[in-house]
Amino acid sequence: MDIPETLRYAATHEWVSEPEGGVVTVGISDFAQDQLGDVVFVELPSVGDEVEAEDAVAVVESVKTASDIYAPLAGTITEVNDALESAPEAINEAPYQGGWLFRLRPADAGAREALLDAAAYQAVCEAES
């Protein structure tokens, strides 16, 4: 299970990158994609959507199930990964690189620090395994 130290995590298995220009990238963790199985479809939010933390903002469908994806932070969606429309399997192949879901400008620049660090997130995953 790959849990990069530089990311922050929500207990619902979303990851959040370090901010670049005030914007963070969001995706689902390696643990989450493994639990889902082969991803076959992704429904992404719209650019400009204003979201609250813990809002269901996207859906990832796999051969096993469909799963809501939650906003780990409140803010505004600035970009979505359109490449996932034709290649949703990128989530399985590279959840931390090409499989990212959307970018978000957080309403509170410091809110990311309240999310789980890698060690705390690993404990969540181990508890669910």
Predicted confidence band at 1 (pLDDT cuts at 50, 70, 90)?
confident
Give the position of tokens 């879901």. 101
The per-residue pLDDT for range 11-67, each reduced to its tens digit, is 999 999 999 999 999 999 999 999 999 999 999 999 999 999 999 999 999 998 999
**Nearest-5° Cα angle at 32, 35 to 125:** 90
Coil, strand, or helix at residue 52?
coil
pLDDT in the model for residue 129: 83
The per-residue pLDDT for range 68-110, each reduced to its tens digit, is 999 999 999 999 999 999 999 999 999 999 999 999 999 998 9
- CA distance linking residue 30 with residue 82, whole number of Å: 20
The per-residue pLDDT for range 42-51, each reduced to its tens digit, is 999 999 999 9
Alpha helices of the chain — where are they, by DSSP H? 30-36, 83-86, 90-93, 118-128
- The type of residue at 18 is E
Q: What residues pair up with 43 in beta bridges, in sequence order?
A: 59
- The type of residue at 38 is D
Q: What is the distance in angstroms between the CA of the first residue and the CA of the last residue of the chain? A: 11
Read off the tokens for 66: 């469909």
Q: In the chain, pLDDT over 70 holds for what percent of residues? A: 100
pLDDT in the model for residue 58: 97
- CA distance linking residue 107 with residue 17, whole number of Å: 15
